[in-house]
């Protein structure tokens, strides 16, 4: 049976009025955040250290002090507000649990009232499975995809298709669908029945592209080839990061994600976006799905939902997927869940974070600064060793020519030199990946790329 979007799908309706559903999902969250805002403390400062204050200073233990973290280590959205003040916010939200009407008793499905309501409100448009990390989401979305096809009588659809150079977290789900060789080599065959699309990075065709490359949409046609090989009736889901992060900011070519969507639609295959990095404002929109105007069937998220202050993740499941479970033979979403799913502390941190995103216009700041960020990143074109600069939203990568016979050492030396200048960077192979806090300002952006340029001029 070919998979069809169901008529009456609320997302179709939303498409008519030109509002993407994930925005709607976010709006529901944000409205809830506004409702609970009064109980949160006001006036949290959201600032980075002043620009100009980035020279490494030895502290009493003679350790280097980093003033700017250009990568928001591990790509978290990093409001980077004062920890003390944020802790007060979380405490306020958490203390609110003391009121019994706001607590769900069972830890396994408990969360703060507002998050719990968000969960249920979202079911009008989509359903949300609260989890603990991005990797857990990676496994969970695979389970849901298989379960979805099974409850619809297509249990033979078990194959999952990931992509080379993808990172989806640890655990057999994440590493099997993921495409990073060092993470895979130790674990043998991993999950059976997994194929990989080619990655889309090609220096010859797209070096120094600003934003999405013109070249490369045809690489999505590889999906047709893989699907034809196994027969579409055996394929459950395609899982991609909309912008690949961990292997060095690989921006999807224009039209590529749209092609994946239409091939999936044609063959009844679920399309899943891993938005652990891109979710919550990294591209200046709530989700990359909204940025690219491509609607997946599921979205996994983590990091940004609490700005990584407390571990939390989740899987957003669109209504047709949710309904398939509820109208299936068992009439239940899933029989098992995590002990710590929707943990009250994480929910409180989520509330505090989402309230700040809203009240401080954090996504808008990211969006407004993206052109400046692009310009600053591309100022490194022509700097020693630089063979590519690429960017989208507040993500950028600077790729270096590797030293002959010594791959990655040039990036490492640059990392060390930047660190000495008070700038923390993140390296991946011979690439430096930048994903600054969403509250970054222009002077700090100058400082980030200025420091990288300076370091590059000083190393061989
Ligand atoms: N997916 C992506 C795209 C990620 O970048 C990461 C972590 N960097 C994960 C999943 C895993 O998230 P976690 O570390 O929270 O398990």
Ligand 1 binding pocket includes 348 (Cβ within 6 Å): no
* Mean pLDDT to the nearest integer, 52-63: 43
CB-based burial label for 58 (10 Å; 0-12, 13-18, 19+): exposed
Confidence band (pLDDT; 50, 70, 90) for 453? very high
- pLDDT tens column, 120-130: 444 334 566 66
* 8 Å CB contact between 291 and 393: yes
Domain with CATH 3.90.1150.10 in the chain: 68-80+361-458
Best residue among 133, 137, 162, 169 to mutate for probing ligand 1, ranked by most atoms within 8 Å of CB: 169
- Which protein residue's CA is at the shortest distance from atom 13 of ligand 1? 134
Ramachandran angles phi, psi of 377, nearest 5°: -60, -45
Residue 1 has pLDDT above 50, yes or no: no
pLDDT value of residue 394: 97
Best residue among 141, 167, 283 to mutate for probing ligand 1, ranked by most atoms within 8 Å of CB: 167
Facing residues of 313 across strands?
131
Strand order in the sheet with 431-434: 386-392, 395-400, 431-434, 426-428
Ligand 1 binding pocket includes 138 (Cβ within 6 Å): yes
Calculate how far, in angstroms, residue 275's C-alpha sits from the geometric centre of ligand 1.
Answer: 9
Task: Give the Cα separation of 331 and 334 in Å (integer).
Answer: 9
Task: Choose between 178 and 326: higher pLDDT.
Answer: 178
Pick the closest to residue 148 from 306, 280, 254, 272 (CA basis). Answer: 272
Atom number in ligand 1 closest to CA 74: 8
Calculate how far, in angstroms, residue 167's C-alpha sits from the geometric centre of ligand 1.
Answer: 7
pLDDT value of residue 355: 80
Q: What would the CATH number be for the domain defined by 68-80+361-458?
A: 3.90.1150.10
Domain with CATH 3.40.640.10 in the chain: 97-359
Helix axes 319-326, 134-151, angle to 10 degrees: 60
Q: Work out the widest C-alpha separation in the chain, in whole angstroms.
A: 68
pLDDT value of residue 333: 77
Confidence band (pLDDT; 50, 70, 90) for 43? very low
Atom number in ligand 1 closest to CA 246: 5
Pick the closest to residue 179 from 192, 163, 155, 190 (CA basis). Answer: 163
Task: Give the Cα separation of 357 and 205 in Å (integer).
Answer: 37
Atom number in ligand 1 closest to CA 303: 15
Calculate how far, in angstroms, residue 314's C-alpha sits from the geometric centre of ligand 1.
Answer: 12
Structure tokens at 258: 């749209």
In 3-state terms, the chain is what percent helix, strand and coil (to 5)?
A: 45, 15, 40
Report which listed range, 132-136, 184-188, 252-256, 322-326, is most confident.
252-256
Pick the closest to residue 129 from 295, 331, 325, 338 (CA basis). Answer: 338
Report which listed range, 119-123, 143-147, 352-356, 447-451, is most confident.
447-451
Ligand 1 binding pocket includes 241 (Cβ within 6 Å): yes
Best residue among 77, 176, 241, 276 to mutate for probing ligand 1, ranked by most atoms within 8 Å of CB: 276
Task: Give the Cα separation of 148 and 158 in Å (integer).
Answer: 10
What percentage of the chain carries pLDDT values higher than 70?
A: 75
Atom number in ligand 1 closest to CA 275: 3
Task: Choose between 93 and 305: higher pLDDT.
Answer: 305
* Mean pLDDT to the nearest integer, 319-348: 83
Mean pLDDT, the chain, whole residue set: 80
Count CA atoms within 13 Å of residue 227 on its CB side: 21
pLDDT value of residue 40: 31
Task: Give the Cα separation of 415 and 423 in Å (integer).
Answer: 8
- pLDDT tens column, 193-244: 999 999 999 999 999 999 999 999 999 999 999 999 999 999 999 999 999 9
Using only C-alpha atoms, what is the Rg of the chain?
Answer: 22
Count CA atoms within 13 Å of residue 171 on its CB side: 14
The DSSP-derived string for 208-270 is T--SS-SS-GGGGGHHHHHHHHH-GGGEEEEEE-SSB-TTT-BPPPTTHHHHHHHHHHHHT-E
Calculate how far, in angstroms, residue 173's C-alpha sits from the geometric centre of ligand 1.
Answer: 12
pLDDT value of residue 4: 31
Structure tokens at 364: 């808008």
Helix (H) or strand (E) holding 446: helix 442-458
Ligand 1 binding pocket includes 247 (Cβ within 6 Å): no
Task: Give the Cα separation of 249 and 242 in Å (integer).
Answer: 10
pLDDT value of residue 188: 87
Ligand 1 binding pocket includes 315 (Cβ within 6 Å): no
pLDDT value of residue 411: 96
Q: Which 8-state DSSP code applies to residue 76? A: -
Residue 29 has pLDDT above 90, yes or no: no
Calculate how far, in angstroms, residue 29's C-alpha sits from the geometric centre of ligand 1.
Answer: 22
Residue 310 has pLDDT above 90, yes or no: no
CATH top class, domain 97-359:
alpha beta
* Mean pLDDT to the nearest integer, 405-414: 96
Calculate how far, in angstroms, residue 166's C-alpha sits from the geometric centre of ligand 1.
Answer: 10
Task: Give the Cα separation of 343 and 358 in Å (integer).
Answer: 22
Helix axes 83-95, 344-359, angle to 10 degrees: 120
Task: Give the Cα separation of 320 and 66 in Å (integer).
Answer: 47
Atom number in ligand 1 closest to CA 174: 10
Question: Which phi-psi region, left, alpha or beta, contains residue 269 (left: φ > 0; alpha: ψ -120 to 50)?
Answer: beta
Ligand 1 binding pocket includes 169 (Cβ within 6 Å): yes
């Amino acid at each position: 049976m070919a998979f069809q979007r169901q008529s009456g799908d609320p997302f179709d309706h939303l498409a008519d009025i030109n509002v993407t559903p994930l925005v709607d999902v976010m709006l529901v969250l944000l409205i809830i955040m506004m409702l609970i805002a009064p109980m949160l403390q006001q006036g949290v400062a959201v600032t980075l250290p002043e620009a100009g204050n980035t020279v490494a200073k030895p502290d009493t233990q003679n350790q280097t002090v980093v003033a700017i973290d250009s990568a928001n280590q591990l790509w978290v959205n990093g409001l980077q507000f004062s920890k003390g003040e944020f802790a007060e916010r979380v405490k306020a939200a958490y203390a609110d649990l003391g009121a019994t009407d706001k607590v769900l008793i069972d830890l396994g499905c408990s969360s703060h009232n507002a998050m719990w309501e968000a969960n249920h409100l979202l079911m009008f448009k989509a359903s949300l499975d609260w989890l603990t990390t991005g990797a857990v989401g990676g496994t969970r979305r695979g389970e849901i995809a298989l379960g979805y096809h099974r409850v619809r009588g297509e249990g033979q659809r078990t194959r999952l298709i990931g992509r080379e150079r993808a990172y989806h977290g640890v655990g057999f789900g994440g590493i099997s669908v993921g495409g990073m060789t060092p993470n895979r080599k130790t674990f043998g065959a991993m999950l059976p029945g997994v194929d990989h699309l080619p990655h889309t990075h090609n220096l010859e065709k797209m070096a120094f592209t600003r934003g999405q490359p013109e070249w490369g949409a045809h690489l999505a046609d590889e999906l047709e080839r893989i699907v034809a090989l196994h027969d579409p009736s055996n394929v459950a889901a395609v899982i991609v990061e909309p912008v690949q992060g961990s292997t060095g900011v690989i921006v999807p070519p224009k039209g590529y994600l749209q092609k994946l969507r239409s091939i999936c639609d044609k063959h009844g295959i679920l399309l899943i976006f891993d938005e652990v990095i891109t979710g919550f404002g990294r591209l200046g929109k709530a989700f990359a799905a909204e940025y690219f105007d491509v609607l997946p069937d599921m979205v996994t998220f983590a990091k940004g939902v609490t700005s990584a202050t407390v571990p939390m993740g989740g899987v957003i499941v669109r209504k047709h997927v949710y309904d398939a479970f509820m109208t299936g033979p068992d009439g239940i979403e899933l029989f098992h869940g995590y002990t710590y799913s929707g943990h009250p502390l994480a929910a409180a941190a989520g509330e505090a974070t989402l309230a700040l995103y809203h009240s401080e216009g954090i996504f808008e700041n990211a969006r407004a600064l993206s052109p400046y960020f692009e310009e600053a990143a591309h100022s490194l074109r022509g700097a020693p060793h630089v063979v590519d600069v690429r960017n989208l939203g507040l993500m950028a990568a600077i790729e270096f020519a590797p030293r002959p016979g010594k791959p990655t050492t040039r990036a490492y030396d640059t990392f060390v030199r930047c660190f000495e200048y008070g700038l923390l960077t993140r390296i991946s192979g011979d690439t430096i990946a930048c994903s600054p806090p969403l509250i970054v300002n222009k002077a700090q952006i100058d400082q980030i790329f200025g420091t990288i340029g300076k370091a590059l001029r000083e190393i061989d």
